[in-house]
Amino acid sequence: MSLHERTRAVLPSWLALYYEEPIELDRGDGRHVWDADGNRYLDFFGGILTTMTAHALPEVTKAVADQAGKIIHSSTLYLNRPMVELAEQIATVSGVGGADDPAKVFLTPSGTEANDAALLLASSLRRSNQILALRNSYHGRSFSTIAITGNRSWSPTSLSPFQTYYVHGGQQYRSPFAGLSDGEYIAACVADLREVLDQVGGDVAAFIAEPIQGVGGFTSGPDGLLGAFAEVLREKGILWISDEVQTGWGRTGEHFWGWQASGAVPDIVTFAKGIGNGLSMGGVIAPTSVMDSLGANHISTFGGSPLTSAGALANLRYLLDHKLQANAAAQGPALFDGLRALGSPAVGDVRGKGLMIGVELVRPGTGDPGDPAPEIATAVLEGCRRRGLLVGKGGLHGNVLRIAPPLTLTSDEAAEGLAALLAAIEEATP
C-alpha cells in the first residue's frame, strides 16, 4: 500500500489533504522543502503560516537538541527555566499591560488551546457565556472554539457552550457594505455592532477577532475598525480578545501584532503557529488583573514544555535579531504588485499585508464581486505544485489562494515564486 492509501485506511476521512496526488514532505532547508521522491519546492505556505523563520533553522534545531539532551518534559507543576525565559521575552514585546498592571503569559500546545484559555478567562471574569465574533472567522477546532467560528465549512455542530453573536467587519470584498469608503464602512460596522448589543440580554463576556482572518481567506476590515469597536466594547465593559495566531510576530510587515493597526490595545492576545517554527506552541497574553482572575486551579501538561519553549525562544530571538518584520515589509510589495498587475479576469481581489497575501479567484464575466471559483483555485494549487511552488487555499468558498512564505524570504525567491504563481493562474483561467 502507498502512504496515501495507508493514511486513508487509518486516519479519519475528514482529515484534509492537498493535491490529487498528495505529497510526503521529507525534509526542509530555508524556504525550500523536498518530497519523498526528491522533488524540490519553494514553500509559500510554511505549514499553514507556522514555519515562520526558516525550515531547519540552525539556531532552533540546536536549541531543541541541547534541551532534549537534558530534559524533554516536566509539566507546569515544576519550575521551568525555558518557559519563564520565553514568557519574559513575549511579555516584553507584547504591548499589553503597563507598569501598574504588567503583562503575564500562559503557554499552551496550540492556538486552539490558547483561544480556549482566553475564552475561559473572559467568561469567568465577566460571569457570562455570551461572545461576540466576526462573520467568516476561524478560531480553532475544539468544542468551544468551533462554537465561536463564523464559517460553516469549519463548524460541524450547532451545539455550543457559548451564546455567540456574529457581527460584520471581517471582510470587505463580499460584504453588504462593499463599495463604501473605509470611514463609511467602519461607521456601518459599528452601527451593526451597537444594534446587535441592543438586542442581547445580559452582559457579553468578550469580543474575539482575527485582525486578518486566516482560514477565511486573509480578509479584514480597514485599519481602525477594531479600534472603533473597542470604544463601544469599553463603554459596556466587554473584553476584546485579539486572535494573533496567524498575524503575530511581524508577518504583516507594518506592525509586530495585527491589532496595532487598530489604534487601540486589546485586553487579551492569543498566539501560536509561527512562534514555535513548527514546534507545538501557543499562548495567551493578558494584564495581571485579567490573567490572575481565575478562581480555580489550572495547569498545562504540555503547554510551555522545556523542549518547545527552548526552540520557540531561539526562534523569537532570531526573528528580532535579524529584523524579519522589516524583511516582510520589504518583500511583500513585489508580490502584491505582481499579482495586481496580472490583470487576470479570474483574480477578483488581492489583499493582505506584508507576507500574508490572499488572492480571491472568481469566474470571469460574473460581475464584481465575481462568483467564487473554487475549481480555479484548485487548478492553480496543482499548477503551482507542478512548477515547484507550494501555496495554501482557503476562504468561505474555498476559492482564495493563501500566500505566506517564511519571513526570511529573499527577493530572488519572491520573484521565483511570483513567476510560478502568475503562470499557474494564467494556465487555470478559462
For the chain, the structural domain boundaries read 3-56+323-428, 65-321
Please check the confidence at residue 240 and state whether its pLDDT lies above 90: yes
Amino acid 153: pLDDT: 80
Nearest Cα residue to 44 out of 387, 412, 409, 423: 409
User: How do residues 177-204 score in pLDDT, each as one tens digit?
Assistant: 999 999 999 999 999 999 999 999 889 9
Distance CA 220, CA 134 (A): 10
Please check the confidence at residue 2 and state whether its pLDDT lies above 90: yes
- CB of 147 within 8 A of CB of 161? yes
Could you tell me which CATH number the domain at 3-56+323-428 has? 3.90.1150.10
Amino acid 314: pLDDT: 98
Amino acid 239: pLDDT: 98
For 15-111, where are the E strands, in sequence order? Answer: 25-29, 32-35, 40-43, 97-98, 101-108
- 49 CB neighbour count, 10 Å cutoff: 24
User: Quick one: CA dihedral 326, 330, 336, 339, positive or negative?
Assistant: negative
Please check the confidence at residue 419 and state whether its pLDDT lies above 90: yes
Nearest Cα residue to 416 out of 382, 391, 393, 388: 388
Give me the mean pLDDT over the 26-49 stretch: 98
Could you tell me which CATH number the domain at 65-321 has? 3.40.640.10
Question: Which amino acid type is present at position 25?
Answer: L
* Within this chain, domains 3-56+323-428 and 65-321 share the same CATH topology: no
pTM over 0.85: yes
Percentage, residues of the chain above pLDDT 90: 95
Amino acid 414: pLDDT: 98
Please check the confidence at residue 169 and state whether its pLDDT lies above 80: yes
User: How do residues 334-384 score in pLDDT, each as one tens digit?
Assistant: 999 999 999 999 999 999 999 999 999 999 999 999 999 999 999 999 999
- CB of 362 within 8 A of CB of 371? yes
Percentage, residues of the chain above pLDDT 70: 100
By three-state DSSP, how is residue 244 classified?
coil
